[in-house]
Structure formats: C-alpha cells, structure tokens
C-alpha cells in the first residue's frame, strides 16, 4: 500500500507560554498543502527500511515512521513485518511538518494494512506520542491547534482557489534558536477573529518566530517582502522556518529565485 504524506503551513503562530515540562504552549491555524512525500508499506516476512529522494540526517531509528511502527507493535503483539520505503520530497527543518506527516500517515497506513479499525481519536493519541504536530495530520484538515499541538479544534478557513508559492532557502533554523528569540505572551486578539477577516491577515496574522529569525537571517525576510511585492494577499514564514509561503488570488508573475532554493507552486 502507498500513501502520500503532505506538508502544512501555519496561518499565524503564537507562543503563548512556557510550560513547566520545558515545552511551549502554542496557538496556530494549520492548513494542509499538496506538497508530498511518498510512503509505501508491504507485508513481508523480512523487514526492510529504505529511503530515496532527499537525504535524511541522523539515525534511522529516530525516524517517526519506524517509531510509529514500534508504537503499534507494542500494543498489538504479533503484527507482521513490513518492507517500508519512503521517498522524501518535503524539505526538512523547513517548518512544513514533513516528518510529522510521515509519522502520522504511517499510523493511518498501518491501521488499514493490519485491519486494526482504529478511529481517528485513537490514532491521534498515538500520533501525540510521536510529536507535537503529528495529531494534526490524522484528519489532515484545517485546524486551530493549541497546547503542544495536540489540542485540535475545527477551523472554517478555506484557501481553495488560492495560488500558493512556497520557498525554502535551505537555511537551517534550529529549535533552540527559534525559541530563544521569543518572549511568550497571549495574543491581544483572538486568532479566530483575525482569520474570519482576510483583510486583517497581512497586519494581524503574525508568526511570533519571525521577528528574531528575520533579524538573524535577512534572506528569509527578503523572500517574504518579495511575495508581497508580487501581489500576495498574505505571506508568512511557516512554523519556525525557514520556508516562506505567499498566497495569491491569481497565479503570480514572480521573478526568478536563487537556483539553490527549493520552490513549490500550486493552486489550492
């Protein structure tokens, strides 16, 4: 069986407080976009793991797909072995949730492959054990997320018909750097209120990470500025970066980007 884990973008991202356990409370609207990896799983007596496409740094045992398999096999003894192949296309460390999507989609794929018949509530509980963004990708629809990312509320935002341009300049922004520049605070205006009026997005739909990251990495700020110069009705860094997206009413005529940048364009 094969599935296509997709990326996400953030419409606004607030860091509201730091928790006693070291995590941060966040508030954001997350929306799926059609930039995808490809994940294939096949039942086989001899397990295997293969990756193609973009190189994935680190030890394979830390990959969320393999952690998802381990989670299910802990609770469901005797599940058969799998040959797993991931083709990686979503840039890593880009604020797009690619790794989280891979882990969540692995849970959904195994649920079908093993005939476990787990509903989304239980899959989201497993996904929360994998990582903060993972539960979002179970239903994979626009959501307001809170807590560490595990509290999900329906969201009526629709980007259907908009043209998306997403640029990843290949700049690495570490989690430590991203959070070091943020002073947690509750937003002055409710996220739902701002989302309900698109004319307010440019000025009020804020990603709290941008201020310090743009200061440290002016090239990321320049991408956002170029989006607005080209007529975007909204542009923002996604997550903790370093990818930046622009939303347009019509297909934009953008100047050419640096050849080293990852560029993705699609109508939503």
Q: Which segments of 140-263 does DSSP mark as H helices, in order?
A: 175-180, 191-195, 201-204, 210-216, 218-229
Q: List the structure tokens of 142.
A: 């626009």
Q: 143 and 42: one domain?
A: yes
Q: 142 and 170: one domain?
A: no
* pLDDT value at residue 60: 86
User: pLDDT tens digits for 209-222?
Assistant: 999 999 999 999 99
For residue 170, the enclosing domain spans: 163-267
Listing DSSP states for 106-120 in one string gives HHHHHHHHTT----H
Q: Which segments of the chain does DSSP mark as H helices, in order?
A: 64-75, 98-113, 120-130, 136-139, 175-180, 191-195, 201-204, 210-216, 218-229
Question: C-alpha angle 154/160/161, rounded to 5°?
Answer: 165
Q: 29 and 130: one domain?
A: yes
- Report how far Cα 105 is from the mean position of its chain's Cα atoms: 13
Nearest alpha carbon to residue 11 among 194, 242, 223, 153: 194
- Cα distances from 227 to residues 30, 32, 96, 234, in angstroms, run 20, 20, 18, 8
Provide the Cα torsion 250, 93, 34, 204; round to 10°: -40
Q: 149 and 20: one domain?
A: yes
Confidence of residue 132 (pLDDT cuts 50, 70, 90): confident
Of 123, 154, 185, the residue at which a domain comes to its end is 154
* Cβ–Cβ < 8 Å for 220, 95: no
Nearest alpha carbon to residue 239 among 219, 210, 263: 210
User: pLDDT tens digits for 87-115?
Assistant: 999 999 899 999 999 999 999 999 999 99
- Tell me: pLDDT of 49 over 80: yes
Q: 95 and 14: one domain?
A: yes
* pLDDT value at residue 254: 84
- Tell me: pLDDT of 21 over 80: no
Q: 150 and 196: one domain?
A: no
Q: 118 and 197: one domain?
A: no
Of 102, 137, 154, the residue at which a domain comes to its end is 154
Confidence of residue 144 (pLDDT cuts 50, 70, 90): very high
* This prediction's pTM: 0.94
Of 98, 123, 154, the residue at which a domain comes to its end is 154
Q: 105 and 222: one domain?
A: no
User: pLDDT tens digits for 192-244?
Assistant: 999 999 999 999 999 999 999 999 999 999 999 999 999 999 999 999 889 99
Q: 238 and 116: one domain?
A: no
Instruction: Output the domain CATH number for residue 58.
Output: 3.30.230.10
Q: 79 and 169: one domain?
A: no
In this prediction, residues 10-14 reach a mean pLDDT of 96
Q: How many domains does the chain have?
A: 2
Instruction: Output the domain CATH number for residue 218.
Output: 3.30.70.890
Mean of per-residue pLDDT scores for the chain: 93
Active site residues: 8, 133
Q: 139 and 24: one domain?
A: yes
Q: 179 and 147: one domain?
A: no
* pLDDT value at residue 215: 92
Confidence of residue 172 (pLDDT cuts 50, 70, 90): confident
* pLDDT value at residue 148: 81
């Amino acid at each position: 069986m094969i599935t296509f884990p997709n990326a996400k973008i953030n419409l606004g991202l607030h860091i509201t407080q730091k928790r006693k356990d070291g995590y941060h409370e966040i508030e954001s609207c997350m929306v799926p976009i059609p930039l995808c990896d490809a994940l294939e799983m096949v039942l086989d007596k001899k397990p295997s793991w293969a990756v193609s496409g973009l190189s994935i740094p680190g030890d394979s045992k830390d990959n969320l797909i393999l952690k998802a398999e381990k989670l299910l096999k802990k609770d469901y003894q005797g599940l058969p072995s799998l040959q797993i192949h991931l083709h990686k296309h979503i840039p890593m460390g880009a604020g797009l949730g690619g790794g989280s999507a891979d882990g969540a989609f692995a849970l959904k794929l195994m649920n079908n492959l093993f005939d476990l018949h787990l509903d989304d509530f239980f899959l989201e509980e497993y996904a929360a054990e994998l990582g903060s963004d993972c539960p979002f990708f179970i239903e994979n629809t626009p959501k307001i997320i809170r807590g560490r990312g595990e509290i999900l509320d329906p969201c009526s935002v629709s980007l259907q018909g908009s043209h998306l341009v997403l640029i990843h300049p290949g700049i690495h922004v570490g989690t430590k750097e991203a959070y070091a520049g943020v002073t947690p605070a509750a937003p002055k205006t409710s996220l739902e209120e701002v989302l309900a009026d698109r004319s307010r997005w440019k000025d009020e739909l804020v990603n709290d990470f941008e201020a310090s990251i743009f200061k440290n990495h002016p090239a990321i700020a320049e991408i956002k500025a170029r989006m607005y110069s080209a007529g975007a009705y909204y542009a923002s860094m996604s997550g903790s970066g370093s990818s930046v997206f622009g939303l347009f009413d019509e297909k934009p005529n953008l100047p050419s980007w640096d050849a080293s940048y990852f560029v993705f364009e699609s109508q939503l």
